Chain A
Amino acid sequence: MFDLQGYGGLLLSGFKLTVLVGVASMAVAIALGMLGAWAKVTPHRFVNAVAGLYTTVVRGVPELVLILLVYYGVPTLIQDFATGFGADIRVNLNPFAAGVLTIGFIYGAFSTEVFRGAYLAVPKGQLEAARACGMTRTMAARRILLPQMWRYAIPGLGNVWMVLIKATALISVIELHELMRAAQVAAQATRLPFTFYLTASFLYLGLTVVSMLLQQRLETWAARGVRRA
């Protein structure tokens, strides 16, 4: 049943690429999430509205549609735009970059909500106290706000990561040779689809289990300053 017919190496390299895509997208998502959370709480109407639009639209549209929109839509949009100026150019997106940016962009919206919640969970009095001690705004954010935000944000970010890593399977539709695509190639070549998709699913399960363990350790680390009964 689990005779991989020599395609084990292909699956393994696909697995590595899946992890790489996942980590890179997560980095994009965290950066966008912090930016989005700042944009949501900052006292500026226009910035609030942009951040609100971002989270509303991204969370209401399927990932697959957004991936197809970015990978196929953006190049044609640029080309049509260039044609309008009389230029004839061909744009091809790199599937890795397109995949990472799209997944990061989607889960940035979910991270925005996580960071916003974490920001609201830090008592305001602490920031006021830091300012009263003479810290500047950035210093107070770096010393007081961020270390505590992580503690509230890590469980939420862990959930984002779990969903994100599974969503990377979708970028197989844009021909990036990650785990799902590798399983597809092997399944078609050997005519053993069940074997290969089941193997792929166990690799994803392994990733989930390892992520769960890591998340627990991270949560303990982030809560190291909290007294427990």
Chain B
Amino acid sequence: MDWQIIWDSLPELLGGLQLTVEITALSVAIGLVLAVPLAILRLHPNPLIWTPVYGFIFFFRGTPLLVQLFLIYYGSGQFSAELRAIGLWGMFREAYFCGVLTLTLNTAAYTAEILRGAIQGVSHGEVEAARACGMSGRLLYRRIIIPKAFRLAWPAYTNEVIFLLQATSLVSIITLMDITGVASKIASSTFAFYELYLTAAVLYLILVYGLLAVFKRIEWRISGHLREAKDVQPPEGAPEVPGPQMR
């Protein structure tokens, strides 16, 4: 084990970490904004509306992320003339844009499916009570269904975000310098393969379990009404953190 190489490449790896965090945050944020309307439209009674949404979700959940990434990054090259004509070619030429776009669409599909399940899981009595109070349509969704669905969906959404964080490592394949990209670049020039990939692995572990702790903390905060009265005081130290699940 050559510790010197690890030490010397640490600043550059931390720069990669910054890009990893940035791409994750961007995709999670935009993906969530897209997922809420998608989940609602997915439950629309009109098949002309829910079928295309279902098709989108099915495609992005049923194919590997790497294929989606290549489809958008390299595949857009097949339409460069058309894209140039509408002035979008400049964006699709950028690996950064394509990476964020793919990850966003991917997480939007998975999150929409999680939210759909949660919206269906909101108990009928609550919706009925809200209707009896005179709420309907948007007001009902905004005040009752969406907040309740978010609470129900939170554990599954936590896994989704963790999964996306790990999935950002794929953008290194389309030349972006995230943690994996930096590790690969230095490793192939110094031949210190296991030193760099192990360091990258440790950085991901820190990110993943740090993020997991934050999300579990939020889960603890938003589930206060479900706990016994005696547990109201937070327990000593951090809440127990189970490992990431698969989505």
Contact = CB atoms under 8 A, between A and B. Distances in A.
Interface of A: 55-57, 59-66, 68-69, 72-74, 76-77, 110, 113, 159-160, 163, 166-170, 172-173, 180, 183-184, 187, 191-195, 197-198, 200-201, 204-205, 208-209
A76 B180 contact: no
Closest 4 CB pairs of A and B: A73-B194, A194-B75, A169-B64, A62-B169
A60 B243 contact: yes
Interface string B64-77: 11111011001111
A83 to B, nearest CB: 12
B247 A172 contact: no
B173 to A, nearest CB: 6
A68 B63 CA distance: 22
Interface of B: 58-59, 62-68, 70-71, 74-79, 166-170, 172-173, 180, 183-184, 187, 191-194, 197-198, 200-201, 204-205, 208-209, 243-247
Nearest to A188: B74
A204 B198 contact: no
A68 B70 contact: no
A76 B188 CA distance: 12
Given A65-B200, A72-B187, A197-B71, A173 B173 contact: yes
Contact of B67 (A64, A77, A200): A200
A194 B79 contact: yes
A173 B62 CA distance: 20
Given A68-B184, A113-B245, A192-B78, A197 B70 contact: yes
A76 B167 contact: no
Nearest to A58: B243
Contacts of A160: 246
A166 B243 CA distance: 21
A159 B61 CA distance: 12
A184 to B, nearest CB: 7
Nearest to B70: A197
B177 to A, nearest CB: 15
B59 to A, nearest CB: 7
B66 A170 contact: yes
Contact of B172 (A64, A74, A201): A64
B66 A194 contact: no
A108 B71 CA distance: 30
